Each structure stands twice: as C-alpha cells, then as structure tokens.
Structure 1
C-alpha cells in the first residue's frame, strides 16, 4: 500500500468489504480511490469464477489491504464484529439471506455498531419473486428494458457488463452509501443500502422511458436517435479497416460536418442534406462511402477538435495513448498494469490509487493489529485462517 496519507474526499472513512465479484469490488475500488481505507475480507479458498485472473491484473481489487477470516467459524464471526465496531461502512454482495445465516446480517452488525452503513449489492434486490435466483449482468439489464434497446434491429447485444455490474450496480451502491453516510451526520444512525442492479439499470434509462411515454422513442432497436437508428449518430469504417464515431445530432453540428467532409458532387450533397427518415438508408450508404475514402488518422486530422462531434474508435490498447487522455493523465500504471485513473476529479481533494490489488490474506496480521487486536489474539485466529 502507498505509505502516503490519502488525500481524497473520503479520507478517514473506514470500510469493510466482504469479498465478492463484479459490482462489490468495483464499488470498494471507487471508495478507495476517493481516499477511504478499505479492508477486504477474503476467503481462504476463493470460489471458482471460471477464470483465473492474475493478482495485479485484478484491477477492481486495487487500493486496499486483504485479510482472510473464516466467517463460518465462531471465531471468524466474532473477529469481523470487532472490525465492524470500528468501521463506518460495510459492503457485501451475497444472495439475500447468506449474511444472516452467518450471523452477520444487518440486525447483528447494527447492534454492534448503530452508526454502520450496511451496503448490499445484488442483481434482483433483497426481496421479490426473483430475489434468490442466480443471475448475471445480462439478465438484470434484460429485465430492466435496457438490453432490449441495445444492438442491431435483429437482436439485442450485451453492452459488456457496464450497465448492470458497474453503472447500475457499483455506482448506485457507492452513491447510496455516501448518501447514507451524509444522512448519518445528521441522525447519528446507520442504515441498510439495498442496491439492486435491476433497479439501477432501469434508473439509468430514466430519460429514455420519458421519451417513450412522450412518443419520441420507439420501443425497438436501431430506430431512434441514440441507438444507431439515425445515420448521423453511428460508427463508420475507414479505408484502413478502422472506425470513427460521429454524433452531430444538432443541425448546426451536422452542417459543420457537411462543410468539413468536402463533398462537391451536387447529387451527393443533396442526399447528405436530406435527414428525413425515408432517406436514412441512402444517407447511411452515402456517409459510409465517404468515410471509406480516407484512413482513420486522415479523418482525425480533418475532424478532431471541431464541432462535428467526432472521435476515433480506439481500441483498449490505444485509448491510454491518445493525446487528450495523456494530457488529462486519464490512465495510470499500478504494479506495472496500465489502468484507468480515479474519477471524478476535485478542485482541492486529490483522489489516488492507494496501491495494487492484494493477494488474498496478504495483510491479515497487519489489519488485525491496526484495528485493535492483540498479538495473542492474532495468533489464536491464524490457525483457523
């Protein structure tokens, strides 16, 4: 861990993360990046996730220390309760009822620490007909209506796991926990934050649901302003097999694009000027033909930095090296692994990655000692893990 004192806006906050996958670790990473002290409670034998990620490459585990406790043993449960007594918040991502069966549910832990903010992240929520069913990001966003809206006309496409796990899950959990911590400053009381990915994914679609109600959004794919339906909000292939993205939704930005495309053929100019829906197929074909005449770098030289609403479609390997990203120091190297820098930024506080991802149990003794356990108590816990 970085020996410097955290300078982010959450410096001084103590958070316990019960190790999980997906949104729980991402939320803990966000809080750590903002300066919170996060300790991760790992299992001695982590569950099989179907993928073996090297420790340093497990980026969402960055910025905290790890202790191993056996939460199925009375000693492990008691040790966690002692940690909770000195914590501000806890994150857990098990199915509903698991923490209660361990004797570590909200009732038990709020009795230990009435000011605790108990953050829970699940796919379906703590109650409801599907609450205890297994699922993943794709399933939760499918139920929210968002998956149906993404992809070509013939089928929905998974938008990675950005909408459910991270946007609708981790970020809503982090937001909810900070809200509860702010409320605690007034009431002096902790509470439970129930963040469900199905809820968060639907919430992310609030504006689209409003447009749907107003008759300004069709309940189908590839037929709207933002879903690839209109030809002027889409990506196009260039002559070198790469892609660019254009998005001049407003007429003045669209006009700016037409001027910079340099089209002189009157028939083609007429096609480009007609944005009526009946002309969309011809307009898309015309734009595709134009953009295939130059390389991606050529189009960057002509359009980047203008009001065309343009960007090159960069690969993940390319993105950290773009001049704009470099100027903003948007990526950092931690333990030799290039990864996104903390976001957002502040005028006074300075978020920072507090260290590389830990190996499970790497800091067990240090954490227990720092959080008030005597050397003898640490020794007694060690044989049990």
Structure 2
C-alpha cells in the first residue's frame, strides 16, 4: 500500500523525547527518514534498538568535521524536511541553520522542536516537560487537591510537543504545494501545552472550572469521573457523565438512585464517592470488568502496560502489540489506503552513500 508521505525525505538531527517521537510518526506515515547521530553520542549506542526509532536509516556524522558537515548539507539540499531539537542558535552555529539551509534549498521545511520556543525570555534556558506545562496552568490542574502531579511527560513532550511538530510539518508541506517554498516550523512545548488546555480555559471562562484541583467535573472530584480501588488492589475507571450512563453505573453497582443525592449536587459528590468506593472494594477488578462489559456505563479496567496488549479490543485493533519482547504502539492514525504497518528500518549506512543517493 502507498502511504501518504511516500516520497517525502526527512533529515532528523538525533535527540531525545519529542523530536524522535515526531519523526517516528512521520516515518509511520511513509516518509523516508535519515537520522543523523554524533558518533560519540549516547544515541549511537541504542540506534535501531528502540521502537521509537523505527523506520529510520541512521548515519553517523560529527558536524565539527568539515567533511561530515558538508555531507549533512548535501542531505539537506535534497530533503523536504529537517527536524531538530537543539537550543536556539545551535544549528546556526553549525552552519546549517534555517537561513543557510533555505538559501540552498528553498523548498525545505525547517522544523524546530524546543520547550520554550525560538524566542522569549526563557528561549535559551534549560527545561523539561514538567517546567513547560507548569507555566501554562496545565500542571496546576492535574493531581489531588493538596499538590499537582506531573502526568509523566505526555502533556508537554508528546501532546504539546511532537504532535504539534507533526501538524506544523504537514501544514508547511501542504502550503508548499501552493507556494513552492518551505518555511520554519517553531514547535514549542509551552505553546502546544497551552493549546491542549484551551477547552479547560473555556470552561473556566464560563464558570464551569475553578483553579482548585479536584473540585471540577473532569479532575477526579466527580464520583462518576474518577478511579476506584478494587478488593485486589487494582482499579476501575469510571466515566459515567451523561445521566443515562450514570443510571447504568448505579445499576451495575446495584445501588438504588433514590437512596443517593442527585448526580449533579456537587456539594455531596464526596459523599457519593465514598459509597461507590465501598462497593467497588467488595470485589476484584475482574469481577467488575465482567459486570460492566458490554454496557454503556463507561466503566473500564485500569490496565498496566503489560496487560494492555491482551485486552480484546486493543488486541483486535493491534493498537499495542508485543514485538521482540517489548510492548510496541502501532501506527496511528490509520488511513484506509495506507495500512497500519510501520516502515521497515533502513539500518546504519554511510553518510556519503545516502547523500549521493538522495542527490540523484
């Protein structure tokens, strides 16, 4: 099957986190990705052994070596996209920044992945996911009432980072079809995280969200939108927001709605949650999974990464699969004409050979 980005050539300057993740997605969509790795970098030790790096051809290049630098310039001359995640100014100091590269290849999309962006007071500062989401309000909104909890690095690095870089690259490639010219994509995690919380900002604007954690509909305050411990120490996830789904939740828990406060009486949410918690703790997770299986109560087991690939729905779609002893995510989104199989790895090749092949 032909994938939508077949024929698109991408140079990925090796890094960690959202840059490689974005390049993985672009490769899954059919782009030919060449990953440039410093010979002495830690990345060289695990190149092609992690599934986040799948679908790449890897070349080793020390950009302080004039010959290697010229080889990378040749790659960029023939590339459609370059993905880099260095601090602002690093690519410029190496002589392969956007001004130089676009002068040589006006069709190039120069995609820059950073935490703080290419400009602003913190542009040159170090940071991690937790820092980027802390300045947007996203971190403040997550966790129990007494303290915020970082949601791993999903909101900044990947939700606000790699996903927005992919969107920017695709938009720039689409515009290039009209203008014939590439451009710079400034994908900053602090910007992306801000966009991710827009719906909460809207709820806040209309008085349906407060800045107090665990006091809102979707942050664990509502008894019908939180997790509950079972008798075996495992958990069930409950998302029965709509009245008809809430009724099915009560039916599965064998609770009489007449004996409970109104679903939307926020002043008594904790009282209801205590009742739900007591009922869930009567039985193990497997019991509750069977009770709610096939219903619209919006209740599901909270699975570990090890368990997830074996869930019937996840297994049927192949969303997560086991490969080489690891749990691996399949391609997403799925396009009808492309299939969901990741692009095969290209292995490690000589820089000069790849640059020569691309120049033809």
TM-score, normalized by the shorter chain, greater than 0.5? yes
CA–CA distance in 2 between the matches of 1:357 and 1:150? Answer: 40
- Partner of 1:45 in structure 2? 40
Per-residue deviation, 1:53? 8.2
Within a 5 Å distance, the mapping from 1:190-201 to structure 2 comes to 190-201=182-193
The separation in 1 between residues aligned to 2:12 and 2:328, in whole angstroms, is 21
Cα drift, residue 310 of structure 1: 1.1
Instruction: Flag the 1:122–1:182 CA change in 2: closer, same or farther, 3 A.
Output: same
User: Structure 2 length as normaliser, TM-score?
Assistant: 0.95
Specify the alignment match of 2:291 in structure 1. Answer: 302
Shift in Å, 1:226? 0.6
Q: Is the alpha carbon distance of 1:164 and 1:279 closer, same or farther for their aligned partners in structure 2, counting shifts above 3 Å?
A: same
Residues 1:202 and 2:197 aligned together: no
Q: Work out the CA distance in 1 between the residues paired with 2:148 and 2:57.
A: 39
Equivalent residues in 2 for 1:1-385, closer than 5 Å: 7-46=2-41, 55=47, 58-263=50-255, 270-271=259-260, 273-355=262-344, 361=348, 364=351, 366-372=353-359
- How many residue pairs get matched? 360
**Alpha carbons 1:57, 1:337 under 8 Å: kept:** no
Rounded Cα–Cα distance in structure 2 between residues aligned with 1:197 and 1:101: 23
1:362 Cα offset (Å): 5.2
Deviations for 1:33-87, whole angstroms, at most 9, x for unmatched residues? Answer: 1111000000011159xxx985565221111010011111222221111111111
Whole-angstrom distance in 2 between the partners of 1:334 and 1:7: 24
Deviation track 1:104-159 (CA, whole Å, cap 9, x = no partner) reads: 11000001100000000100000000000000000000011100000000000010
| SS of residue paired to 1:109 | helix
CA contact (8 A) 1:55 1:357 kept: no
Q: How far apart, CA to CA, are the structure 2 residues paired with 1:151 and 1:90? A: 37
**Secondary structure at 1:28 match in 2:** helix
The whole-number CA distance in structure 2 between the counterparts of 1:181 and 1:354 is: 20
**SS, match of residue 85 in structure 1:** helix
Deviations 1:216-246 (A, max 9, x none): 1101210101100111100001111110000
Counterpart contact for 1:303–1:310, Cα < 8 Å: yes
Change (3 A) 1:165 1:357: farther
State how far apart, in whole Å, the 2-side matches of 1:22 and 1:357 are: 21
Q: What is the rounded CA distance, in whole Å, between the counterparts of 1:215 and 1:357 in structure 2?
A: 53
Q: 1:56 to 1:66 in 2, by over 3 A?
A: closer
Runs (4+) off by over 2 Å:
52-59, 271-275, 331-338, 355-358, 361-373
Once the 2 structures are TM-superposed, how far is the Cα of residue 333 of structure 1 from its aligned partner? 4.2
Residues 17/318 of structure 1: CA separation in 2 closer, same or farther (3 Å cut): same
> Which whole-Å CA distance do the structure 1 matches of 2:346 and 2:215 have between them?
43
Is the partner of 1:67 in helix, strand or coil? Answer: strand
Specify the SS of the correspondent of 2:135.
helix
How far 1:351 sits from its partner (Å)? 3.9
Measured after TM superposition, the shift of residue 275 of structure 1 is 3.9
| RMSD across aligned positions (CA) | 2.0
Q: Is the contact made by 1:61 and 1:357 (CA closer than 8 Å) also made in structure 2?
A: no
> Aligned partners of 1:363, 1:255: CA distance in 2, in Å?
63
CA-CA distance at 1:272 after TM superposition: 5.7
